[in-house]
Amino acid sequence: MADLDLIKSKVDIVELIGQYVPLKKAGRNYKGNCPFHSEKTPSFMVSPDKQIWHCFGCGKGGDVFRFLMEKEGLEFPEALAQLAEKAGVPLQSQSVGEWGNKNLLFNINELAAKFYEKAMEDSTQGRQALNYLVSRGLSRETAKIFRIGYAPTGWDYLIKFLERRGYKLDDIEKAGLAVRRTRGYSDKFHHRLMFPITNASGKVVGFTGRVLNPEDQPKYLNSPETAIFVKGRILYGLSATKEFIQQANYAVLVEGQMDLLSSYQAGVKNAVASSGTALTIDQLKLIRRYGEALVLALDADAAGGEATKRAIELAATEDLNIKVAILGEFKDPDDCIKAGVDVWKRIIDSAIPVIDFYLDHSIKKFGVDTVAGKKKVAAEVLSVISLLVDPVEKDQYIKKLASLLATSTESLYEAMGKLKAPRSAAKTAEESALPDRDPDWLSKQMLGIVLYRSNYYSDFRDRLDQIKWQGWSERVYESLKNCYTGSEFSLDNLLPTLAYDDRVALLELLMVIEEQYATMGEVDIKGELNFYINLIQRRQVKQTLTRLKAEISAAEQSGDQEKLSTLLEQFKHL
């Protein structure tokens, strides 16, 4: 795509990433600590020549668009639009796709947020709403930081405001701000405190409106899901708190907006709110971008307990260290903070590991005075212990549970094994569909070396042609062959023949290979390439033999002698 290349040529990748990560010159490249995982020794590299970044620790990498998407939690069209604006490049319509429609909704929601803020300042009822916030303990400064506003009592004030600025009723409805009724449209929100909901980059995607009249229902009214607002992919407050989460390397998860605002004002600014919705894997992925741990400080009721359990189950898949803040007699964080800022900070600092929370929670719920109670405690706690990766940590908790239940560690390990069996089977099926390791790794390594030392290609071409390339590697290798001139090939000629995503992946691969082989001699590099070719050829022969054995067995059972003879000949040849 011409737009992408033009934008990249005008955006200095070192300058852009340097706004997030302190970078130091390291030869032709720049190095720093990875912003996506915790590390003491820098393994994050940026290549100004290739306009590529890569972390040798966690394996993430890509171009400027991918960095912005990973760091800010953006979709590609939004990252494209932001960088295009930074580069001063007007986007062609074919590059934008559905972004134009989404951008329209962003603009409508942004104007609505300004309308609600102005109504809070300028109307009598708006000032009364602000006084209500202050009476709840929030300062005017906090209200401004989070852009809290007021929705007037009229039925179409916002609609008329947006129409005067050229927006159509249909689009206002799509933004979630208008409701179609029998006699036309009306505003979605009336006489409510308005909490703008933003994505990770700070764009307004929706709203939560809280009643000011106790007789009105529901107490909290949310925007409907739209093209830009999916509840399970948003965390309230993240755009304002993500830097504090990164500094602390952990996030505090609370349930409601007021909990978040109170925590922020109290000085615990590394917090986000789930806004009363069930926690999702997408939300945990957002948190994992900025920190390695999560402290759950949810409401001290049944819903909070279930939310805690859900968070634990999901967090295991995202490698998040989970702790639980015990609220004690306080019904929610906001209630706790009203008792004293120091109380809230002490509760957060005293958060306990999630397994200890589950041990205490389960024993209080089921008791350990009966065999039935012990069985229920064991089943609930073992299901959580089984998620632990560290065998030493797992063993310590097994011993602790055994002591509390007055049973043997052997019996608990046996019980845990039975609990894990169906989970392991499910995980195996999932891993087969989405493998953790790149099945194309060997092919990519060979291609990387050939790209790094293009003069090797003529020596190995016959053997490389015999390899059964697949996927990305097949596309790149076919283009490579077409660019071969008889002595060697040029990377400058190869890149334009590839699709944009393939080009980015190829440049990132080349950056990795250059780092790996920078200090290795020519003979050793050539030997490495020969080793990889031998290895993949042996693997492919083994795979073919396995397939042929299965087909021979099937031919024998069916009595197909002709097919059996052909298959046996192929098997002997290999």
Q: In this structure, is residue 563 part of a structural domain?
A: no
Q: Is residue 217 part of a domain?
A: yes
Q: Where is the domain boundary, 229, 261, 294?
A: 229
CA angle, residues 542, 546, 552, in degrees to nearest 5: 140
Do both 172 and 135 map to the same domain? Answer: yes
Can you list the residues of the chain whose pLDDT is less than 70? 1-2, 92-100, 276, 300-309, 312-313, 316-319, 389, 420-439, 486-488, 573-574
**Structure-block tokens of residue 561:** 């002698």
Q: Which of 328, 350, 372 is the last residue of a domain?
A: 350
Residue 299's CB: how many other CB atoms inside 10 A? 21
Place of tokens 């409805």: 173
Same domain, 220 and 278: no
Omega of the bond prior to 435 within 30 degrees of 0, cis? no
Helix (H) or strand (E) holding 281: helix 281-290
Residue among 1, 12, 99 nearest 63 (CA): 12
State the Cα–Cα distance between residues 14 and 128, nearest whole angstrom: 49
Considering the domain architecture, whether residues 313 and 425 belong to the same structural domain is answered as: no
On whether both 427 and 481 belong to a single domain, the answer is: no
Residue 571 lies in a domain: no
Residues in the chain: 574
Q: Are 451 and 506 in contact (CB under 8 A)?
A: yes
Q: How far is CA 328 from CA 125, 220, 324, 343, in A?
A: 37, 26, 12, 11
- 168 and 217 assigned to the same domain: yes
- Residue 421 forms part of a structural domain: yes
Q: By three-state DSSP, how is residue 294 classified?
A: strand
Asked if 223 contacts 197 with a C-beta cutoff of 8 angstroms, the reply is yes
Q: DSSP of 371-394, one letter per residue?
A: HHHHHHHHHHHHHHHTT---HHHH
Asked if the structure places residue 148 within a domain, the reply is: yes
Instruction: From 146, 152, 114, select the one nearest 133 (Cα to Cα).
Output: 146
pLDDT at residue 303, as a whole number: 47
Q: How far is CA 27 from CA 57, 247, 515, in A?
A: 19, 29, 11
344 Cβ neighbours under 8 A, 6+ residues apart: 263, 266, 268, 333, 336, 337
Starting from the edge strand earliest in sequence, which strands make up the sheet with 192-198, in order? 149-151, 192-198, 204-211, 220-222
Residues 405 and 447 in one domain: no
Q: Which of 166, 197, 229 is the last residue of a domain?
A: 229
Written as one letter, the residue type at 69 is M
Of 260, 320, 257, the closest CA to residue 286 belongs to 320
Residue whose structure tokens are 């509760």? 347
d(CA 295, CA 279): 13
Domain match, 151 and 212 both: yes
Asked whether residue 564 is assigned to any structural domain, the reply reads no
Q: Tell me phi and psi for residue 123, to 5 degrees.
A: -100, 155
Secondary-structure percent of the chain, ordered helix, strand, coil, rounded to 5: 60, 10, 30
Same domain, 222 and 110: yes
Instruction: Please state the φ and ψ torsions of residue 326, each to the nearest 5 degrees.
Output: -90, 115
Residues 302 and 405 in one domain: no
Contacts of 255 (CB under 8 A, 6+ apart): 273, 274, 275, 276, 298, 299, 304, 307, 332, 333
What CATH code is carried by the domain that includes residue 63? 3.90.580.10
d(CA 29, CA 50): 10
The answer to whether residue 193 is domain-embedded is yes
User: What is the total count of domains within the chain?
Assistant: 5
Do 313 and 363 fall into the same domain?
no
Domain contains 566: no
Q: How far apart are CA 97 and CA 85, in angstroms?
A: 17
Secondary structure of residue 177 in the 3-state scheme: coil
Same domain, 87 and 103: no
Helix (H, G, I), strand (E, B) or coil at 251: strand
User: What pLDDT sits at residue 312?
Assistant: 67
pLDDT reported for residue 544: 79
Decide: pTM greater than 0.75. no
Q: How far is CA 333 from CA 258, 346, 529, 564, in A?
A: 9, 12, 59, 72
Structure confidence at residue 94 (pLDDT): 44
- Domain that residue 28 falls in: 2-96
Amino acid at 182: T
- 238: domain CATH number? 3.40.1360.10
> What pLDDT score does 214 carry?
83
Residue 449 sits in the same domain as residue 345? no
Q: Which of 146, 138, 144 is nearest to 265 (CA)?
A: 138
Cα of 135 vs its chain's centroid, Å? 37
Which of 564, 532, 376, 387 minimizes the C-alpha distance to 452? 532
The CATH number of the domain holding residue 124 is 3.90.980.10
